[in-house]
């Protein structure tokens, strides 16, 4: 169960990183975060 959770988190972070816009094109709100 713990391994499955870690795998799910890793996949979520990978998806978020892949969906993020290229550097330099993020909105001001994202840069200030």
Structure confidence at residue 16 as a pLDDT band (50, 70, 90): confident
Taking the whole predicted model, whether its pTM rises above 0.75 is answered as no
Report the alpha-carbon distance of residue 9 to residue 28 in Å, rounded: 27
Residues 1-10 pLDDT 10s: 678 988 988 9
């Amino acid at each position: 169960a713990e391994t499955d959770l870690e795998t799910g988190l890793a996949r979520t972070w990978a998806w978020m990183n892949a969906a993020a816009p290229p550097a330099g094109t993020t909105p001001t709100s994202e840069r200030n975060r």
